Amino acid sequence: MYNLNLYNNYNFLEEYMDKAMNAAFFYGPNNIKIKNINIENKSNDNLILKVLSCSICSYDVRTFRNGSFKIKPPIILGHEICAETIDHIEGKNFRIKPNSRVSVYPVIPCFNCWYCNHSKYNLCSNLKEIGSTVNGGFAGYISIPKKVLEIGGIIPVLDNVTNEEASLIEPLACCINGINHIKSLDFESIFIIGDGPIGLMQLMLLKKYFPGIHITVVGKIDHRLDEAKKLGADSVYKIDTKHDLHTLSKIIDELNNREKSPNLIFVSNNNAYSLKVAFGLANKNGKVIIFSGLKDVSSVTENNYFNTIADANFVHYNQISVIGSFSSNPENLREAMGLVNSEEIRIKNLITNTFELQNLENALKTSESFEGFKSVINKFDN
């Protein structure tokens, strides 16, 4: 844990308390309103940052359409944040000057549970999250609880990283956390089910950490699968529809003929049917990593595509390991920042759409339509 001193820039604070900012409030499904409000009052325990960019996560899209059990509207969404410091921040091993660019770790620990006491902040028993349970980055300024700073959750943006790339450090860190779960495992081939930004980030990381391992990407969008090939996927498969069992059977037959049935499968999208695909592809003693929260689980169950008892028996008799991976920890963000800064991981091509905050709803719809890859809000007109 970091010992922190926050040196408030009081001249700025006096000025900024009289200012207003634009903020996008989520009021419920399909209901976002842009409001011009006073910048949130600063307490001694919070740090105000000026938001430079905030990218859109599939969680934001799902929440926009369906709401979330975590959220009590009105709330400002957005947790993939690059911002600028206003205060001077000094800790035991670091110092951040005013007007420095930073990426933000979105988890707010409680410091009281077993998980926080063992630095597993993403598993906090009393989990609070920026952009979910507290106001997030779809606004001109954001108030960061001091607890985030105390765990090293404010990460300096390095020189070779753009503002837009810095907003993707958080999802890249989540991918690193997921891959850390499997570094000690033995496997000969990997499948990634999902051709979106997360799947392609995982592809780049896996190619770096496991050179020579055969990696296949399964997806449904041609231009995304083409990008997967450019990033080094050894093979790609397209599943055209939500329940394309014929294509799945064809893939399994081809894998069996080539003895390439995967030992390790990442479920890297939020379609619940992908879990059924993962079990269908896994070989005996295989590992399935569930990386994304799943939507439409009830519809999949109702149509007999996912049967808990049948799939539990499959897991048992074929000795399948199922591993969950959620969020990240601050050290994952620091690693992600270093990889992007050194260009060992190139995420620039994943940023395909930028929007003003006033057009947030269009940005969410663009992400929902799978047009391009990542949409980023980078103009706030405060």
How confident is the model over 55-67, as pLDDT tens digits? 999 999 999 999 9
Tell me: the pLDDT tens digits for 299-345?
Answer: 555 555 556 555 788 889 989 999 999 999 999 999 999 999 999 99
Q: What is the mean pLDDT of residues 96-120?
A: 97
pLDDT reported for residue 72? 94
As a whole number, the mean pLDDT across the chain is: 88
Angle at 377 between CA 374 and CA 380, to 5 degrees: 175
Which residues of the chain are in CATH 3.90.180.10 domains? 5-173+328-379
pLDDT greater than 50 at residue 297? yes
Choose which CATH entry (3.90.180.10, 3.40.640.10, 3.30.70.1070, 3.40.50.300) describes domain 5-173+328-379: 3.90.180.10
Tokens of 363: 């940005």
Concatenated DSSP letters for 312-353? HHHHHHTT-EEEE-----HHHHHHHHHHHHTTSS--GGGEEE
* 3-class secondary structure, 378: strand
List Cβ<8 Å contacts ≥24 apart for 176-180. Answer: 176/205, 176/328, 176/332, 176/335, 176/336, 177/122, 177/325, 177/327, 177/328, 177/329, 177/332, 178/202, 178/266, 178/289, 178/291, 178/325, 179/205, 179/206, 179/209, 180/332
pLDDT digits (tens, 9 = 90+) for 237-291: 998 756 666 677 777 777 765 555 678 999 999 888 888 888 888 888 889 999 9
| Dist. CA 378–CA 382, nearest whole Å | 12
Report percent pLDDT > 90 for the chain. Answer: 68
Q: What is the pLDDT of residues 9-57, one digit of tens each?
A: 444 445 555 578 999 999 999 999 999 998 865 566 788 999 999 999 9
- In this prediction, residue 8 has a pLDDT band, given cuts at 50, 70 and 90, of very low
Q: What's CA 367's distance to the chain center, in Å?
A: 14
Indicate where the chain has its CATH 3.40.50.720 domain(s).
182-324
- Provide the pLDDT for residue 257: 59
Residue 67's SS3 state is coil
> Looking at residue 378, what is its pLDDT?
98
Please name the residues in contact with 188: beta carbons below 8 A apart, sequence gap of 6 or more: 213, 214, 263
Residue in the structure block whose two tokens are 């810095």: 166
Cβ neighbours for 236, distance < 8 A, ≥ 6 positions apart? 195, 216, 217, 218, 219, 225, 228, 229
Mean pLDDT of the 208-235 span: 95
Q: Which tokens in the block code for residue 79?
A: 């947790």
Task: Write the class of the CATH domain 182-324.
Answer: alpha beta
**Distance in angstroms (rounded) separating the CA atoms of residues 322 and 64:** 30
> Could you tell me the pTM of the whole model?
0.91
Q: Report pLDDT for 98.
A: 93
C-beta neighbour count of 43 within 10 angstroms: 10
Q: Measuring CA to CA, which residue among 148, 169, 163, 154 is closest to residue 97?
A: 154
Mean pLDDT of 185-195: 90
Distance CA 100, CA 156 (A): 7
Q: Which residue has the tokens 């081809």?
A: 254
Gap between the Cα atoms of 321 and 146, Å rounded: 38
Amino acid found at 100: S
Res 131 pLDDT > 80: yes
CA distance 59 to 269: 11
Helix (H, G, I), strand (E, B) or coil at 118: coil
